[in-house]
Amino acid sequence: MTLRVLGVDPGLTRCGIGVVDVERNRRATMVAVGVVGTSAGQTLDRRLLVIAEAIDEWLDLYKPDVVAVERVFSQMNVSTVMGVAQASGVVIAAAARRGLPVALHTPSEVKAAVTGSGSANKDSVTKLVTKILRLDAPPKPADAADALALALTHAWRAGSGAAASATGPGKDSLTPAQRAWAEAEAKARRGR
């Protein structure tokens, strides 16, 4: 069975969107990737409408099982947080209209899932997304790679049971990054 995840790196200027299929053995394949762009010169309502229409189109075209969205990060400046939150709301509402589950993942969760380090830089994430998905070239811009990383994070975390596998059967089938992420998650759960 394959899990299809639509990942969204929300933003008003650039909203990254990526779709991946992940098999039970954790092999991931990119289905589609892109970026929805809006101009700062447009009114907020027009910008959100452009994002909403693009998300609706992607949801209808690719029919994901789940939508993974980057959780709003509060240490950004206020105007950036507002734009990200507004774009996130549009995406979450579009998924809800279709009865699709939505998962929110922090930037550090995504970095840890893909690279094994929650403090990895964008270049490292892009490099490993390219390798994991067996792409000929890195997805550009970084928002596109981030969307794919979000989709991978969710699939590995919830869809394929990577965290549970980290200490049980199948541990050897995890990549080093998946193993590090799953072990960190298991440690965090034990510390609660």
Residues 135-166: pLDDT tens digits?
999 999 999 999 999 999 999 887 444 333 33
pLDDT at 172: 45
Residue 103 clears pLDDT 90, i.e. is over it: yes
pLDDT at 163: 36
Annotated catalytic residue 21:
no
DSSP reduced 3-state for 52: helix
Catalytic residue among 21, 109, 143, 146: 143
| Domains of the chain as residue ranges with CATH | 2-190 (3.30.420.10)
119 Cβ neighbours under 8 A, 6+ residues apart: 108, 111
Q: Which two tokens stand for residue 95?
A: 């998924």
The pairs formed by 173-182 with CB atoms below 8 angstroms and a separation of 24 or more are 173/25, 173/26, 174/26, 175/26, 175/132, 176/116, 177/112, 177/113, 177/114, 177/115, 177/116, 177/128, 178/26, 178/113, 179/116, 180/112, 180/116, 180/117, 181/112, 181/113, 181/116, 181/156, 181/157, 182/156
Annotated catalytic residue 70:
yes
pTM of the model as a whole: 0.81
Torsion sign across C-alpha atoms 62, 63, 65, 71? positive
Report whether 172 belongs to an annotated binding site: no
Of the candidates 56, 53, 75, 51, the residue with the CA atom closest to the CA atom of residue 143: 51
Annotated catalytic residue 146:
no
Percent of the chain with pLDDT over 70: 80
pLDDT at 78: 76
CB atoms < 10 A from the CB of 132, how many? 22
Report whether 183 belongs to an annotated binding site: no
Report whether 45 belongs to an annotated binding site: no
The two beta strands, 66-70 and 2-9, are parallel
Q: Predicted confidence band at 4 (pLDDT cuts at 50, 70, 90)?
A: very high
